[in-house]
């Protein structure tokens, strides 16, 4: 750990200075070039699969062991996702009290000692304090136990099949397969009103690490925080910025977060390159996809339905350019099978029956062995089916 240290944000340009020395050729042919050199150069040439928090998020109360296989947001999880050929891994970055960008999803980190649960806000910890939780890299060291709070308040021991240490953004750049793209979510607390200078300070700390260690790795910034999205775009012109939205599934006091149309407006007003929507928002408001395309914005999605191949295939047909998924192995295999160009012999085969597709989607089955060749009637049926799934 000796190589890790807190960063100094004074070295990062302020809002009136945009870095000019970083290369724009960061996508290694993954994105096509067009007339608009800012936006068109960022459109994916192929449908992208992105690993959620690496190889998938941890849901400790889930009966599905895949949700408890590998520690989320860890070096181990990122490198495991790379084995399946995903284009990017998505992960959450916060900044410690001493200005070090670390990778962790929750706003609070919890531990249990003598039957008592204690929690601390991640951003109020120093780097050394943060790294004391969970498995330790140094032999013989024992870290504080980690527990995790579910949305309903229940507490679970954070036990997974393959555990790993907490890590920093710098470590991710240094230890994760260099061909793997990073979708860096800039994580902020929904219940805090941030002043602009606070946001700038945090973003500068993150940019300092990115500029020093990214090299040619593909990078996407994303955030639910509208002002952070605006500011990270203003602070740099090298990496694309996507605005994260629930797509109208939840209501926030900040109206910019409450619909896809508000997301489009925010992107256009601030020169952002794309939107990442909860998948239910896309299926409930399919007309917004064409409006996003007309605005020359890229569109990605996240959410539980992205673990269902039929739902992923529907998005491909609708013009969505990529999906953030938990079951990276199953979905990358399904996507390769579903979205490849069929052979002449396959094109003459009988279509998958709509009943089979409906059952697979409703039961959340992942493995698909044939490429669906849906008729328009079947597509309409699947749209209605997915709409029903969204309600549950």
CATH number for the domain spanning 250: value is: 3.20.20.190
Where do the DSSP E strands lie in 251-325?
274-278, 298-302, 322-325
Residue 339 confidence (pLDDT): 79
117 domain residue, yes or no: no
Query: In this predicted model, what pLDDT tens digit does every residue of 99-156 receive, in sequence order?
Result: 999 999 999 999 999 889 999 999 999 999 999 999 999 988 999 999 999 989 999 9
Give the residue among 325, 330, 339, 316 at the shortest CA–CA distance from 367: 330
2 domain residue, yes or no: no
364 domain residue, yes or no: no
35 domain residue, yes or no: no
Q: Cα angle at 158 between 245 and 110, to 5 degrees?
A: 75
306 domain residue, yes or no: yes
Domain holding 68, by residue range, is: 48-106+169-340+378-390
Give the three-state DSSP class for 315: helix
Give the three-state DSSP class for 349: coil
Instruction: Write the DSSP assignment of 155-215 as a string of letters.
Output: EEE---SB----EEHHHHHHHS-TTSEEEEEE---TT----HHHHHHHHHHHHHHHHHH-T
355 domain residue, yes or no: no
Domain count, the chain: 1
313 domain residue, yes or no: yes
75 domain residue, yes or no: yes
CA atoms within 13 A on the CB side of 145: 15
Residue 264 confidence (pLDDT): 98
> Which residues in the chain land under pLDDT 70?
1-44, 340-381, 383-385, 387-392
The DSSP H or E segment spanning 345 is helix 344-347
């Amino acid at each position: 750990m000796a190589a890790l240290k807190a960063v100094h944000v004074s070295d990062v340009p302020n809002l009136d200075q945009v870095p000019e020395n970083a290369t724009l050729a960061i996508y290694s042919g993954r994105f096509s070039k067009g007339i608009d050199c800012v936006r068109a150069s960022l459109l994916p040439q192929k449908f992208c699969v992105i690993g959620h928090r690496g190889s998938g998020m941890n849901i400790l109360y889930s009966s599905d062991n895949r949700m408890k296989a590998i520690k989320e947001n860890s070096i181990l999880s990122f490198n495991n996702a790379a084995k399946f050929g995903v284009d990017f891994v998505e992960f959450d970055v916060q900044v410690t009290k001493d200005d070090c960008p670390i990778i962790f999803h929750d706003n609070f980190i919890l531990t249990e000692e003598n039957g008592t649960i204690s929690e601390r806000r991640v951003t109020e910890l120093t780097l050394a304090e943060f790294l004391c939780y969970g498995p330790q890299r140094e032999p013989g060291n024992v870290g504080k136990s980690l527990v995790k709070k579910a949305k309903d308040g229940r507490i679970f021991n954070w036990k997974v099949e393959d555990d790993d240490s907490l890590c920093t953004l710098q470590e991710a750049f240094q230890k994760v397969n260099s061909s793997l793209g990073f979708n860096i979510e800039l994580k902020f607390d929904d219940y805090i009103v941030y002043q602009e200078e606070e946001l700038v300070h945090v973003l500068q700390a993150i940019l300092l690490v990115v500029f020093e260690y990214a090299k040619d790795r593909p990078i996407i910034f994303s955030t639910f925080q509208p002002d952070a999205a605006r500011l990270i775009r203003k602070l740099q012109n090298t990496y694309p910025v996507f605005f994260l939205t629930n797509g109208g599934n939840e209501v926030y006091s900040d109206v910019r977060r409450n619909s896809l149309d508000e997301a489009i407006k925010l992107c256009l007003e601030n020169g952002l390159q794309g939107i990442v929507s909860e998948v239910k928002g896309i299926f409930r408001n399919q007309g917004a996809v064409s409006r996003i395309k007309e605005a020359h914005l890229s569109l990605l999605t996240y959410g539980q339905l992205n673990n269902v191949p039929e739902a992923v295939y529907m998005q491909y047909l609708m013009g969505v350019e990529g999906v953030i998924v938990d079951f990276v192995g199953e979905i990358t295999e399904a996507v390769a099978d579903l979205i490849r160009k069929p052979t002449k012999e396959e094109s003459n085969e009988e279509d998958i029956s709509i009943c089979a597709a409906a059952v697979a989607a409703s039961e959340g089955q992942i493995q698909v062995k044939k490429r669906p060749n849906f008729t328009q009637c079947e597509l309409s049926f699947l749209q209605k089916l997915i709409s029903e799934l969204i309600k549950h």
